[in-house]
Amino acid sequence: MNILVTGGAGYKGVLLSYELLKLGHNVTIMDNFMYGYEPVLFLMQYPNLNILKKDIRNVEESDLSKQDVIYHLAGISGYPACEANPHSAQLINVEATKRFCTMLGREQIVIYASTTSFYGKSGNLCTEDTPIEPVSLYGITKYEAEKFIMLREHSVALRFATVFGVSPKMRTDLLVNDFTYKAVNDRCIVLFENTSKRTFIHICDAVRAYLFVLDHYPSMKGNVFNVGDNSLNFTKQEISEAISKVTGCTIIDSSLDDFDVRNFEVSFDKIKSLGYGVEKTLDYGIQEMVRLYGFYKPFLAYRTI
């Protein structure tokens, strides 16, 4: 198949592109490479790869017309990045997404990288039918885009749990990755609102979910799915304790409020009923990142040479 991966140079996109290339698909990565080119260098060995260095705000019909499937991952990802770039978040996450959707033919399939983040601060168990109440610009923009995409007949939205684990384009801002980084480097984790609950998934399982759609498309078409596992709903306290068990770090409870007020639990029964399940545990991801952070210093690496 001809497959376009927008945001294919990103944390999830690069590993998704790798798996699609290994399966023999003709893969086009469309990305503006705002985080650099290094993540995709190892993919150059694949002759079935095409790179389109482009901002999705400038997409043209000719970029899309030959594609059977579009995995749409490009965007300003995460709460802090959207707060720092509110205008771009609206233009990229919402307007550019709507614009490229209107250029697609009816039969072209869009698989959207949506998020559980917009379940907000209900504190309750959320299914795909739970009313949405985003509490951040990130959640608002992602939900607006999802609603538009799901007006199409041939679309699937995957509402991912917060991802953890290692990728060639690393994200240390994601909660488990961030806490593990602090545990290894600062020897302590400072917790705000330690009882807040969130849901998590290892990056390999996230990529497996994207591939799962290709194999189960008839039963997923036109639907929204939470992607994760019921066993991976944790409070921040539980995450910190799991990290402390491996690293021996101290956990400090702060009485201050967190700016990020998300607090929810998610049910993943819908995608599980189709046969999808995760393979990696939280402990697996923590061990993996402890190995990484033993040598990897994301910001200093560029300054000290």
Ligand X SMILES: NC(=O)c1ccc[n+]([C@@H]2O[C@H](COP(=O)([O-])OP(=O)(O)OC[C@H]3O[C@@H](n4cnc5c(N)ncnc54)[C@H](O)[C@@H]3O)[C@@H](O)[C@H]2O)c1
Residue numbers at the binding site for ligand X (CB under 6 A): 7, 9-13, 31-35, 55-57, 73-75, 77, 92, 113, 115, 142, 160, 162-163, 169, 171, 174
CA separation (Å) from 228 to 37, 203, 242, 274? 29, 10, 18, 13
Choice between 24 and 174, CB closer to ligand X: 174
- Closer Cβ to ligand X, 108 or 162, answer by number: 162
| Cα 188 to Cα 180: distance, rounded to the nearest angstrom | 9
196 vs 106: CA distance, rounded Å: 41
Helix, coil or strand: residue 158: strand
Asked if residues 251 and 183 have their Cβ atoms less than 8 Å apart, the reply is: no
Q: Interior CA angle at 8 toward 107 and 227, to 5°?
A: 70
Give the CB-side neighbour count of residue 107, counting CA atoms within 13 A: 4
* Paired tokens of 224: 């929204």
Chain position carrying tokens 């923590």: 286
Nearer to ligand X, 171 or 197 (CB): 171
Q: How far apart are alpha carbons 2 and 65 in whole angstroms?
A: 10
Minimum distance from CB of 248 to ligand X (Å)? 27
CB of 141: closest distance to ligand X in angstroms?
9
Minimum distance, C-beta of residue 96 to ligand X, in the bound complex (Å)? 6
Q: Which is nearer to ligand X, 10 or 285 (CB)?
A: 10
Q: How far apart are CA 248 and CA 93, in angstroms?
A: 39
Instruction: Record the tokens describing residue 260, joined without a space.
Output: 């990020």
Question: Residue with the closest Cβ to ligand X?
Answer: 10
C-beta separation of 227 from 209 below 8 A:
yes
- The nearer residue to ligand X, 116 or 247, going by C-beta atoms, is 116
Cβ of residue 220: shortest distance to ligand X, in angstroms? 17
Phi, psi of 205 (to 5 degrees): -70, -30
- 62 vs 304 by CB, closer to ligand X: 62
d(CA 107, CA 5): 17
Q: Which is nearer to ligand X, 160 or 225 (CB)?
A: 160
> Measured from the CB of residue 19, what is the shortest distance to ligand X in angstroms?
14
CB of 187 to ligand X, least distance (A): 25
Residue 9 or 184: the one with the smaller Cβ distance to ligand X is 9
The minimum distance between CB 129 and ligand X, in angstroms, equals: 19
Please state the φ and ψ torsions of residue 186, each to the nearest 5 degrees.
-100, -10
Instruction: Determine the Cα–Cα distance for residues 166 and 272; give it in Å rounded to an integer.
Output: 24
Taking the complex as a whole, how short is the minimal distance between the CB of residue 89 and ligand X, in angstroms?
A: 10
